[in-house]
Amino acid sequence: MKIMVVSFFFPPVSQVGYRRPLRFVEHFRRQGHEVSVFCVHPSTPGLKNYSGIDPALSAKIPAGVRVYRTPSFHGFKILLAIRDGLRNKNGGVPPAAAVKSAPVAAAPDSARSGKGLAGRLVDSVMELFGVPDPYWGWIVTTLPMVLLDHARGKAQAIYVTGPPWSPMILGAIAGRMLGIPVFLDFRDPWTLNRYWKGHPASRYLESKVLASGKAVITNTASMEKGFLEAFPGLEGRIRTIYNGFEPGVMQEMQRYRDEQGQAVKTEFIVSHIGMLYPSRMPASLAKAFATVAAQWKGPRPIVFRFLGQVMDPAPLIEAFATAGVPQALQLVGEVSTSAAKREEVKADVLLLLQSGTQDQIPAKAFEYVFAGPEILCVADPGSETASLLERHGLGTVFNGTESAAAFAAVFGKAAEGRAATGTAPESFMTEFEGERLSARMLAVLTEGSVRIPSAGARR
Round to whole Å and give the CA distance between 84 and 90.
10
3-state secondary structure of 321: helix
Distance in angstroms (rounded) separating the CA atoms of residues 353 and 292: 17
Write the CA distances from 428 to 10, 37, 345, 411, integer angstroms: 27, 30, 20, 24
Pick the CATH number of 249-425 from 3.90.1150.10, 3.10.20.600, 3.40.50.2000, 3.30.565.10: 3.40.50.2000
Listed residue (8, 5, 105) closest to 65, CA to CA: 5
The answer to whether the CB of 87 falls within 8 A of the CB of 114 is: yes
Counting DSSP H helices and E strands in the chain, the numbers are 18, 13
Cis amide bond preceding 95, omega within 30:
no
The residue among 188, 232, 193, 242 whose CA lies nearest residue 210 is 232
> Could you read off the pLDDT tens digit of each residue along the chain, which spans 459 residues?
999 999 999 999 988 899 999 999 999 999 999 999 999 999 888 777 777 889 999 999 999 999 999 998 765 455 545 555 555 555 444 443 333 333 333 333 433 345 556 555 655 555 656 677 888 899 999 999 999 999 999 999 999 999 999 999 999 999 999 999 999 999 999 999 887 877 788 899 999 999 999 999 999 999 999 999 999 999 999 999 999 998 888 899 989 888 887 778 899 999 999 999 999 999 999 999 999 999 999 989 999 999 999 999 999 999 999 999 999 999 999 899 999 999 999 999 999 999 989 999 999 999 999 998 999 999 999 999 999 999 999 999 999 999 999 999 999 999 987 655 667 889 999 999 999 999 999 999 998 533 333 333 333
Q: How many CB atoms lie within 10 A of CB 310?
A: 20
Q: Is the separation of the CB atoms in 135 and 72 below 8 Å? A: yes
**What integer pLDDT is reported at residue 122 of this predicted model?**
55
Give residue 394's Cα distance to chain centre: 22
Task: Tell me, rounded to whole angstroms, the distance of Cα 300 from its chain centroid.
Answer: 33
Q: Give the whole-angstrom CA distance, residue 83 versus residue 85.
A: 5
2-74+134-244+436-446 is a CATH 3.40.50.300 domain: no
Q: Determine the Cα–Cα distance for residues 233 and 211; give it in Å rounded to an integer.
A: 8
The answer to whether the beta carbons of residues 88 and 95 sit under 8 Å apart is yes
Give start-end residues of each CATH 3.40.50.2000 domain in the chain: 2-74+134-244+436-446, 249-425
Q: Which SS3 state, helix, strand or coil, does residue 430 take?
A: helix
